[in-house]
Amino acid sequence: MKKKIRFYQSINTKIVFIIVMLLVFALQIIGANFITQIERRLVTSFQEDRQAQIDFLESTVQPYLEEYENNEESEIDPREEINDLLSEFSGSGITDLQVIDQNMVVLGNSDSTQQDTLGQLSDDTDVRDVHLSGNTLAIQVEDSSSGARKWKIVEPVYSSSGEEFLGIILMESNIESVYTQISDITVIFLQSSAVAIVLSLILANMVSRALTKPIKEMQTQTRAIAEGDYSGTLKVYGEDELGQLAFLINELSDEVAEAQESIDSERRRLDSVLTHMTDGVIATDRRGKIVIVNNMAETMLDVTNEEVIGKNLLKVLDVEEDLTLRKLLEEQEDILINGTSVEAPTVLRASFSLIQRETGFISGIVCVLHDVTEQEKIEAERKQFVSNVSHELRTPLTSMRSYIEALADGAWQDPDLAPRFLEVTQNETDRMIRMIQDLLHLSRIDAGKSELEVELVDLTELLDHVLNRFDMLIHSSDYAGKNYHIERHLLNTPVFVELDTDRMMQVLDNIMNNALKYSPDGGTITGRMRQTDQSVIISITDQGMGIPKNDLVKIFSRFYRVDRARSRAMGGSGLGLAISKEVVEQHGGRIWADSKEGEGTTFYLSLPYIPFEEDEWS
Ligand code: ADP
């Protein structure tokens, strides 16, 4: 996150650079203007000085030239006068000063080393030009040997009347000093500029540092905020824009800290809700890739967080073949899937909903998994039950109908058939009534409306009583020709148990009835009793057809019969053991069976029993 700012990118450098550049530009413009002006003024004043000098010289020399030209008699040679004048004038920067007559002959020369030119014709081209033109010539020339710049004035001299050309004055003066002066000034200017630039560099640096210091502090602070550290506070240096900005950053930091805190607590709350939910929750991004999965969903699908994060939701739910993401987005219908729990197969209902922004943009899907195994089981049982009841009722009704039809068709007049047919319909009706009674009994137990009327009963006596009844029954005419025998191995002592006598008799009757019913060839039926620390166990064993191993548990379910046809033929409804089980469980006991096909069956019935201590009776 932290990005190093290069030297040239720094605002500090930029400010210093701009200030110094501005100064340099200003100095350049001022300097250029100033130096040109000075140069012009100095040169002009130099030229004017020289012109004044030559004008003065002209007026001084003029009488001597006039005298010379007119060959006037005098005591002193005018040429000497002129030479004296010239030597007086020379110096102070004048390098060459000559007076030339109207015939171009040099009359006087200020340079004592060039006295040999006197009387000679002047070879100066400028002099010749002025001689021809009669006008003053003022030009800058360069010394061929030294290269120094010189100001050369060639001035024609006229007689006082102004009509007669008398000669020429040539003056060369050193203008170089003026230029030297200018370059001196330039050097001074440049030096002061350099000092100014250095000073401004230091000053600009100080100013920009003062400006950028708070900015740097803000930078550090905002970086800290971005990294989640809200502890720092910026110093507010003043009321200016930077001060206000610092103040606002401080406020922003406080607000971000608060917002972050509330987001964190919100997230924690959400996490804890998700963790402790009894439903599984899976959230995905907009492409259906899983981003959140809670503990319950992990358990339900038998996966780990790492395994599924980033995976496709439909793949994880194993519904890729039946469902597409598009369909899910369009319809969001609940689906049933198989859970992969380790213990037992489960059925899960997956409900989907979209995570949608206000704009309608779908940013993900939430899938809630609910374990509906129990519900589905109950639903299946309910369906099975309804189908069973209808089936059980339809069979006797159909048979009754056919008998009644036969009777109506004339059989009622048949003295042999009519009573038999009526007996069948009566039996079927009885069976239906029994079945309905059984069903009503079960439904009362289911609804918790069947209350036991318990009393302290001697179980040994009760079992003995039941066995006695059946002993009488097998010796009655109904069972004539069948060889049944009842054996008993009961306890010698009374065993007092709290139970509802009628109901328990019903259970024992049912087991005994079955023992007879499913032992078509007769055989011994043995009633046993045993006592343990916490319970008393009754068992009734027959030597009948037995029950296949797979059916042993199922026979206690409603309407379940191993051999439907036989059971029905024997008047069974398939509800007897179901009711027995409910009743025994109401007593806090347990019922189960053990059997070997073809050899016989034993039904066990265990009831809770706490043996009384001897002393309690004494
Ligand atoms: P049912 O009215 O058909 O006898 P029950 O609930 O009493 O219904 O019994 C359920 C089924 O269990 C019977 O249909 C029969 O197939 C089986 N069964 C019960 N007792 C015995 C037994 N002593 N020997 C063999 N099969 C039995």
Atom of ligand 1 nearest to the CA of 578: 6
Q: How many whole angstroms from 547 Cα to the centroid of ligand 1?
A: 8
Min mean pLDDT across 293-297, 514-518, 565-569 is at 565-569
In this predicted structure, the answer to whether residue 204 has a pLDDT above a threshold of 80 is yes
Min mean pLDDT across 313-317, 319-323, 564-568 is at 564-568
Q: How confident is the model at residue 72 (pLDDT cuts 50, 70, 90)?
A: low
Q: What is the pLDDT of residue 614?
A: 56
Candidates 257, 265, 258, 254; CA nearest to 228 is 257
Residue nearest to atom 4 of ligand 1 (CA): 572
With residues binned 3-state (H G I as helix, E B as strand, rest as coil), the percentages for the chain, rounded to 5, are 55, 20, 25
Q: What is the pLDDT of residue 96?
A: 86
Tell which one of 561, 570, 575 to mutate to probe ligand 1, the residue whose CB is within 8 A of the most ligand atoms. Answer: 561
Cα–Cα dist 377/598, whole Å: 33
The pLDDT tens digits of the residues spanning 123-137 come to 889 999 998 988 999
In this predicted structure, the answer to whether residue 81 has a pLDDT above a threshold of 60 is yes
Q: pLDDT over 90 for what percent of the chain?
A: 48
**And the tokens for 495?**
């065993």
Q: How many whole angstroms from 479 Cα to the centroid of ligand 1?
A: 19
Q: Are 97 and 171 in contact (CB under 8 A)?
A: yes
Q: How confident is the model at residue 313 (pLDDT cuts 50, 70, 90)?
A: very high
User: Over the range 574-609, which residues count as b (16 or more CB within 10 Å of their CB) and which as e?
Assistant: bbbbbbbbbbbebbebebebebeeeebbbbbbbbeb
Atom of ligand 1 nearest to the CA of 556: 6
Cα-based distances in Å from 360 to 282, 326, 354, 363 = 21, 16, 10, 9
Q: How many whole angstroms from 554 Cα to the centroid of ligand 1?
A: 10
Residue nearest to atom 11 of ligand 1 (CA): 561
The pLDDT tens digits of the residues spanning 236-246 come to 888 888 888 88
Cα–Cα dist 487/471, whole Å: 9
Min mean pLDDT across 3-7, 74-78, 192-196, 225-229 is at 3-7
Atom of ligand 1 nearest to the CA of 574: 8
Q: Which has more confidence, 160 or 376? A: 376
In this predicted structure, the answer to whether residue 612 has a pLDDT above a threshold of 70 is no
Tell which one of 567, 573, 584, 597 to mutate to probe ligand 1, the residue whose CB is within 8 A of the most ligand atoms. Answer: 567
The pLDDT tens digits of the residues spanning 408-417 come to 999 899 999 8
In this predicted structure, the answer to whether residue 327 has a pLDDT above a threshold of 90 is no
Q: How many whole angstroms from 486 Cα to the centroid of ligand 1?
A: 19
Cα–Cα dist 82/63, whole Å: 10
Q: What is the pLDDT of residue 341?
A: 65
For residue 186, which amino acid is it?
Answer: T
Q: How confident is the model at residue 5 (pLDDT cuts 50, 70, 90)?
A: low
Q: Which residues line ligand 1 (CB under 6 A)?
A: 510, 514-515, 518, 542, 544-547, 555, 561-563, 567, 572-578, 601
Q: What is the pLDDT of residue 360?
A: 85
What is the pLDDT averaged over residues 210-232? 87
In this predicted structure, the answer to whether residue 521 has a pLDDT above a threshold of 60 is yes
Q: How many whole angstroms from 561 Cα to the centroid of ligand 1?
A: 6
Q: Are 411 and 396 in contact (CB under 8 A)?
A: no
Q: Are 463 and 490 in contact (CB under 8 A)?
A: yes
Q: How many whole angstroms from 574 Cα to the centroid of ligand 1?
A: 7
Average pLDDT, the chain: 89
Q: What is the pLDDT of residue 122?
A: 87
The pLDDT tens digits of the residues spanning 376-426 come to 999 998 998 899 889 888 988 999 999 999 999 998 999 998 999 999 999
In this predicted structure, the answer to whether residue 199 has a pLDDT above a threshold of 60 is yes
Residue nearest to atom 19 of ligand 1 (CA): 514
Q: CB burial class (10 A; 0-12, 13-18, 19+) of residue 31?
A: middle
CB atoms within 10 A of CB 346: 19
For CA atoms 323, 328, 331, 337, the dihedral sign is positive
Q: How many whole angstroms from 290 Cα to the centroid of ligand 1?
A: 53
What is the pLDDT averaged over residues 337-355? 84
Atom of ligand 1 nearest to the CA of 568: 3
DSSP classification of residue 430: H
Query: Is pTM, for the whole model, over 0.75?
Result: no
Q: How many whole angstroms from 517 Cα to the centroid of ligand 1?
A: 8
What is the pLDDT averaged over residues 171-195? 91
Q: Which range in 94-103, 385-394, 584-593 is most confidently predicted, on average pLDDT?
A: 584-593
Residue nearest to atom 13 of ligand 1 (CA): 561
Residue nearest to atom 8 of ligand 1 (CA): 574
Q: What is the pLDDT of residue 73?
A: 67
What is the pLDDT averaged over residues 278-292? 93
In this predicted structure, the answer to whether residue 151 has a pLDDT above a threshold of 80 is yes
In this predicted structure, the answer to whether residue 339 has a pLDDT above a threshold of 90 is no
Cα–Cα dist 221/58, whole Å: 86
Residue-by-residue DSSP string for 153-181: EEEEEE-TTS-SEEEEEEEEEE-HHHHHH
Atom of ligand 1 nearest to the CA of 567: 3
What is the pLDDT averaged over residues 317-327? 86
